[in-house]
Every structure is written in C-alpha cells, then in structure tokens.
Amino acid sequence: MIFLEALRPSRSIHVFLHIIHLWHLFMALIRRPYPERHTISSYRDSPPPWRHSGLSVLLRKKMYGPVITVYLGLQRVVVLVGYETVKEALVDQAEDFSGRAPAPFAYKATKGLLISNGERWRQLRRFTLTTLRDFGMGRKKMESWIQEESKHLVDLLRENQPAPFDPTFFLSRAVSNVICALVFGQRFSYKDAQLLKLLFFFSTLSQLYNIFPRLMDYLPGQHHAIFREVNELRKFSTEKIREHQETLNPDDPRDYIDCFLMRLNEVEKNLVSTEFHHENLTATVLNLFLAGTETTSSTMRYTMMLLIKYPDIQEKMQKEIDNVIGQTRSPTMEDRKSLPFTNAVIHEAQRFLDLVPLNVPHYATKDISFKGYIIPKDTVVIPLLHSVLKSVDQWDNPWTFNPNHFLDHNGNFKLNPAFIPFSSGKRACVGESLARMELFLFLVTLLQHFTFSSPGGPESVDISPEFSSLGNIPRRYQLIAAPR
C-alpha cells in the first residue's frame, strides 16, 4: 500500500486545478457573444467542465430546446439534449455525427482507433470489432478468461483480510488482465508495479491536459510526466509486438496483435496503402488497454460502493445468487436471465453513475442539417448522455438509485431503450459486450464469496461521484470484504 499512497495526486495538482477554475470563470465573464450568423439557440452560463453534470442544460431544455450552444472553457460546442434528439443524431443520422472531436492530450500522446476519423477510423474499427469477436468477446472463450481472472481476484481479496482497503487498484488489475488476454494473449501478475503506475498517471494527469491544453504546454508541473509514462507503456507494447513478430504462426493466431500483424504483412506484401502499420498497431493496443480498464473498473467500484451503502440490496442479490448458482460454481452469462434482480442492480448502477455524462465529444466533419438547424463544419458536438440517463421522461425517479427501473411488475428484467451508458450508433463503445460480461461475472463472483461493508457504516458512504474531465468518477472509499 506504500506504493499506492505514493501515487496519489500531490497538493500542487489540487492547487493548480483551483487556479484553472478561477481563470475559467474570469474568461467566461469577458468572452464576447458568438457572431450573429449562428443559427442555434445559445446558452452561455454552463459550469466549468470539471464540475458540469449536465443538469443545468437539462433543466433548461424546455426554454432553449433540444439543440443548445454552450461554452466549455474557450470551446464553443453544440449540445444535444434528450433521448429522442440523441438517438436521432447518433442512430438515424449516424454517418453525419460519426466524427470524433480533437482531443489535444490524446493526439499528443497517441493516435489509434479511439480518436481517429475518416478511413483510418473505419478500417481500424471494422478490424477491431471482427477480431475481438473472433477471440471471444461476448463468447464462451472470453467467459472462461473472466471466470479464471475472477478466481485470482477472490484470492487477492482473501489475502487482504481482515483490513479495510481501497478497492480501486484491486479491481483495475483484474479488469486490465482481461484486456491483456485479448490483446497480448497473456495475463500479468497483480504485483506489476510499473503497470499500476502507468495506469494511474494516464487516468489522473490526462484530466489536466484536456481542460486547458494551451496552458499545459507552458506551465511546469507533474502533468508533463504523463507523456514520459505513456512512452514507457508504448515501449512495453512495442516489445510485446516484437515478441509476437518473432513467434507469429499465421495458422494459429493467438490474440489481437497476431491478427493485426497478419493483416500488416498481407498489405505490405501486396504494396497496398492502408492504415495497417506499426504506428496504428501500437496506438490501438494502448487505446484498448487504457480505455478498457478505467471505465469498467470504475463502474465495478461504484457498484460495490452502492452495495455497502444499501446492504439490503446486497443481501437480496446474494440470496438470488445463492438460490440460482450457489457459492461454489462459477457464474456464466446464461445465469443472467435467471438473476433478474442482480441484473437490474448492475444496470441501475451504470445508469445512476452516469460515467460519461457529456459523452465523448463528436465532431461535425461537414455542415450538418439537423432538426431545422445548420451545425457548421468543425463544430464540436456533445450528445448529452446525462440528459438521457437522468431524464424524467425516461425514468420514474432518475435521481434515485432504484433497481426497479429495470424490473417489471412481476419482477422480470426489462431493458429501457434509453439505457445507453456506452453511447449509441457508429461511435458506441467497441468493448460494450466485453464490459457487460465483465461487470456481471466479476460482481456475481465477488458476492458469492464476500459480504462487503464500510468501516464507518452505510451512513458514512458518499455515493455522489466526483466530476473530472473524463467523467463521473467514484469517490475513493474503504471497504471490508468479509468471507461468506
């Protein structure tokens, strides 16, 4: 735990955030109105991006309409509000809104699948979806990997008895190993300190850079270390790719890297110009590894927080799991249909957390005609997931954690079409099916073996998330895992 404590943000980072906050408020006051030729209704008094929950815009929907102009820092963006509006953009006009907005930190640190546009994005996304499905994403092979990793996680928690602990790095190690199995064809020791350090710096320091990228390049501080850390991870990935090249068997591909190398060798042999080259391979490996770890582990951590906040819900889940699976057999995805309450709790935890309330920004790569407006080319577009997951039009009581949002009157699971925590359309999360599988199998396994509680009792647990430039992040907390 000494190592983990050493990685916590220093006071200088918190002070720096406050300075940035004050500077943002000052600039918001002196900024001039947008030129008169704009055609979209304007809303200028949104909170700073690291505190913005989307609520201010949502409450003004009837006044300003479902298509609103806001300012996040110095950037003018168009926000799409409400389920029908978001669906119309991301699904009905999917091609128009498939562009990805520039991300200064990401462009400086890496390229790859997640932030690309145009032909690069189309080729890499199609290949990645196909390859991950072939290697078990959503299938029995991946299920067995997660089941095996769940056992390692249970053993790790048992070793930590009886002391309270912060589950953050326990969960991120387990989740990252699932990605490692897909990408590298192997899992890594939970004691790999370098891996933990790289993950921590990426998730923490990238928040600073994305808020005010122009300032980041000129101000001294720890935020510059993130690029050194990303380079270390890039070196690690490059070494793994080299090892794969030396042992590649085209008749028996082992993982994502092998499949990419096979495609790369094919296009090189045919002298075809494509996006299958070493730079994109290294970058996409980083994308999959980092994005696939932080989001799923944060959701698991928040779900466990809710269970120690509401022990009666945890107890009801355990009774259902005991009746259907017992405490010895590993859960399977087939069990999910027999565990409606457990399934409902997991879905409701994702909805209530609202992990990425502002969505990952989209981009108008051309002038777009939408709902009677013209959205000019090069406009950043935010389909506000918060306005869908917390909408009074879609949920009986959106600001209350209530698994009944996903249960019918007979206690059967029901899926609300407004449940889109992974976004929707062509830019929906590539790893959605994998994340769903991880959340279910990991959480059910943990509840088979442990009862979770807080050292200070349920009343000491603050379930309100902290907002960062990356989204709603569960607060740090301590829990006790009592063996059953």
DSSP 387-428: HHHT-TTT-SSTTS--GGGGB-TTS-B---TT--TT--GGGS
Q: What are phi and psi of 380, to 5 degrees?
A: -75, 135
Measured from the Cβ of residue 22, the count of other Cβ atoms closer than 10 Å reads 11
Across 33-161, the runs of DSSP E, i.e. the strands, are 67-72, 75-80, 99-100
Distance CA 243, CA 259 (A): 14
Distance CA 242, CA 408 (A): 53
Distance CA 146, CA 141 (A): 9
Distance CA 398, CA 400 (A): 6
Distance CA 59, CA 364 (A): 26
Measured from the Cβ of residue 252, the count of other Cβ atoms closer than 10 Å reads 7
Residue 373 tokens read as 């407006």
DSSP tag of 237: H
Q: What pLDDT sits at residue 197?
A: 65
For 221, how many CA atoms within 13 A lie in the half-sphere containing its CB? 19
Distance CA 4, CA 66 (A): 44
CA triple 470-27-81, angle to 5 deg: 45
Residue 263 tokens read as 């495609």
Give the architecture-level CATH label for domain 2-483. Orthogonal Bundle (1.10)
User: What distance separates the 2 farthest-apart alpha carbons in the chain?
Assistant: 67
Sign of CA dihedral 251, 256, 258, 262: positive
- Give the three-state DSSP class for 194: helix
362-363/99-100 β-pairing:
antiparallel
Sheet holding 380-383, edge to edge: 67-72, 75-80, 380-383, 362-363, 99-100
Per-residue burial over 334-359, b = 16 or more CB atoms within 10 Å of its CB, e = otherwise: ebbeebbbbbbbbbbbbbbbbbbbbb
Residue 412 tokens read as 């059967």
Q: What pLDDT sits at residue 266?
A: 85
DSSP tag of 52: -
Distance CA 338, CA 317 (A): 12
Crossing angle of helices 193-211/11-30, nearest 10°? 20
Residue 222 tokens read as 């720890």
Q: What is the amino acid identity at position 132?
A: L
Residue spans per domain, the chain:
2-483
Distance CA 480, CA 315 (A): 15
In 3D, which of 443, 87, 127, 453 has the Cα closest to residue 258? 127
Which residues are within 8 A (CB) of 447 and not within 5 positions of it... i.e. 6 or more apart? 307, 314, 317, 318, 321, 342
CB distance 422 to 432 below 8 Å: yes
For 394, how many CA atoms within 13 A lie in the half-sphere containing its CB? 20
DSSP tag of 338: G
Distance CA 18, CA 273 (A): 48
Measured from the Cβ of residue 48, the count of other Cβ atoms closer than 10 Å reads 19
Per-residue burial over 442-454, b = 16 or more CB atoms within 10 Å of its CB, e = otherwise: bbbbbbbbbbbbb
Residue entry with tokens 């959605």: 432
Distance CA 438, CA 176 (A): 11
Q: Which residues of the chain have pLDDT under 70?
A: 1-63, 71-76, 102-115, 136-138, 194-230, 271-272, 468-470
pLDDT tens-digit profile of 434-470?
Answer: 999 999 999 999 999 999 999 999 999 999 988 765 6
Look up the pTM and report it: 0.83
The answer to the question of whether 429 is labelled as a binding residue is yes
Q: What pLDDT sits at residue 155?
A: 96
CA triple 135-137-138, angle to 5 deg: 130
DSSP tag of 472: E
